[in-house]
Structure 1
Amino acid sequence: MSAQQSRVAEAIRAAGEKRKGALIGYLPVGFPDLDTSVEAAIAMARSGADVLELGLPYSDPVMDGVVIQEATQAALAGGFRVRHVIEAVRRVSEAVDTPVLVMTYWNPVMQYGVERFARELAEAGGAGLITPDITPDAAAEWIEVSERFGLDRIFLAAPSSSDERLKLVVEAATGFVYTVSTMGITGERRELDAAARSLTARLREQGPVIACVGIGLSTAEQVSAALDYADGAIVGTAFVRALRDGGVPGLAETVRTVAAGTAR
């Protein structure tokens, strides 16, 4: 992985020294409204998330499961704009020290302007981007801009990726590599795919890497199982559902429960 200083990598390493590994929590910006989504992200950090992943709602979310799709559609219907992500990052970063990443499809960043987005994200205190639909070989502009603004670039690795592709990902990524546990969309899975374990091993063969497993994790037990072989566990659907059904207090309680899976 690229050697630039990374607050995200530091937070994950620190979690691995104190506990079994890191918990990365996802929520979409603007759900159920902008102010509540900011409050929810702050609560997530204070309840045990080591890194925050704020989703940029998008009209064609090819990777998202039903719960997250419904939340992002509600945010869009409520008047979400790309600038709200920058505002949310700023407000969350002022309240907590937890690194804040933005998870976004590439089209909104391109429409906004790659350099403008990066500058505003960095100025707001953001740590970087997770980009599910852009690969390192197609990301020359983003790699150059992210290095200039000191932002992490987190690419995805999937069980179907060739060794050559995994090598590219490991070399280009900073912060961590988002290790996709199952092919398909986000959501909860009862059985964590054995593919995640073998994919993490394949990534480690390509060089030093911080690997965090996402897609399908929703319980403390699943988080603990993922941290047997990965550096971090990413939880999204379970947290979005908790916020939807129980508001910020319900979310905080769920995050605390799931975070127990990071204990040694």
Structure 2
Amino acid sequence: MTKRYQALFARLKTENQGAFVPFVTIGDPNRELSLKIIDTLVTAGADALELGIPFSDPVADGTVIQDASTRALDAGATPDGCLSIIKEVRQLHPTVPIGLLLYVNLVYRNGIENFYERCVEAGVDSILIADVPLEESAPYRAAAEKFGLQQIFIAPPNGDVETLQQVAEYGEGYTYLLSRAGVTGADAKAGMPVEHMLETLNKYNAPPSLLGFGISKPAQVKEAIKSGAAGAISGSAVVKVIEANLDNPEKLLKEMDKFISKMKAATHL
């Protein structure tokens, strides 16, 4: 079992910071530029990475991330190709925690154990399967334990105590705390107050919570950490930087560096 998340959260605690974790789709807009983008995320200050494997029917995602999937698939992205990009990222950044966010179909059709083993070989620390409910997660948790991956679970905003207790018990690495229901997207505002959910999760010793969905501004990162979360995840807002600069890779990387630096600066307490 890798200890990169534990090491990260311990370090951030001593430095009085929260975590900023950006999400991008691997292979968007193409292999070569995707690698440069992911490298830029880390060098600009990302504490960990949340990476998506493109999928033709991403039901939990809004249009921005759906379009990212389409661009990556059009450029020839495959699960194998995505894992090879992760391998390169891991060589460049040996200590940064790398999380995969994907849909169950991609895992299932490769065979759960086979897929998990290949993830570990590529340097992945955690895996979050968007469309596997807690009550169907046993085979995935078993494979995660066998190969030393950390299985991430979503704490839903409408979750009752029993659900949150299960999330706390089953999850490892970090807890993905949803700020609101619905699909991903930077246009919909992140709905706080999450304090009561955090209280419940902490009571049952859940892994540190990262608040996601609708996080697009430094003020929201600050607010998430103030409310007691260990950090914040931003996806659509990051992908929008790619989308807005598709015709100018150099500008894309500059703008990305600027955006990530600003979001990370907001994690200093």
Report the TM range for the smaller structure's normalisation.
over 0.9
- Please list every run of 5 or more consecutive structure 1 residues that lacks an aligned counterpart in the other structure: none
Q: Which residue of 2 aligns with 1:241?
A: 240
State the shift of 1:20 in Å. 2.5
Pick aligned residue for 1:203 from 201, 204, 223: 201
Q: Which residue of 2 aligns with 1:258?
A: 263
State the shift of 1:121 in Å. 1.0
Pick aligned residue for 1:179 from 173, 177, 180: 177
Q: Which amino acid aligns with 1:42?
A: D
State the shift of 1:36 in Å. 1.2
Quick check: 1:70 aligned with 2:75?
Answer: no
Quick check: 1:93 aligned with 2:90?
Answer: yes
Please tell me whether the aligned partners of residues 12 and 232 of structure 1 are also in contact (alpha carbons under 8 angstroms): no
Q: Which amino acid aligns with 2:195?
A: R
Q: Which amino acid aligns with 1:35?
A: E
**Cα distance between partner residues in 2 of 1:16 and 1:68:** 31
Q: Which amino acid aligns with 2:64?
A: V
**Cα distance between partner residues in 1 of 2:187 and 2:200:** 22
Q: Which residue of 2 aligns with 1:14?
A: 11
Quick check: 1:56 aligned with 2:65?
Answer: no
Structure 1, residues 53-84: CA drift from partner, whole Å, max 9, x if none? 11011111111122111111111222221112
Task: Give runs of aligned pairs for residues 1-264 of structure 1, distance below 5 A.
Answer: 6-96=3-93, 97-189=95-187, 191-228=189-226, 229-246=228-245, 247-264=252-269
State the shift of 1:13 in Å. 2.8
Aligned length, in residue pairs: 261
Identical columns (%)? 28
Distance 1:12 1:92, change over 3 A: same
Q: Which amino acid aligns with 1:79?
A: G
Normalised by the length of structure 1, the TM-score is: 0.93
Structure 1, residues 63-110: CA drift from partner, whole Å, max 9, x if none? 112211111111122222111221111010001131111111111111
**Cα distance between partner residues in 2 of 1:77 and 1:256:** 30
Please tell me whether the aligned partners of residues 57 and 76 of structure 1 are also in contact (alpha carbons under 8 angstroms): yes
Q: Which amino acid aligns with 2:219?
A: E
State the shift of 1:239 in Å. 1.0
TM-align CA RMSD: 1.6
Distance 1:208 1:75, change over 3 A: closer
- Please list every run of 5 or more consecutive structure 2 residues that lacks an aligned counterpart in the other structure: 246-251
Please tell me whether the aligned partners of residues 188 and 217 of structure 1 are also in contact (alpha carbons under 8 angstroms): yes
Structure 1, residues 188-222: CA drift from partner, whole Å, max 9, x if none? 25743134333222322333431110001011111
Please tell me whether the aligned partners of residues 93 and 99 of structure 1 are also in contact (alpha carbons under 8 angstroms): no
State the shift of 1:171 in Å. 0.4
**Which stretch of the first structure deviates more once superposed, 91-100 or 188-197?**
188-197
SS at match of 1:241: helix
SS at match of 2:266: helix
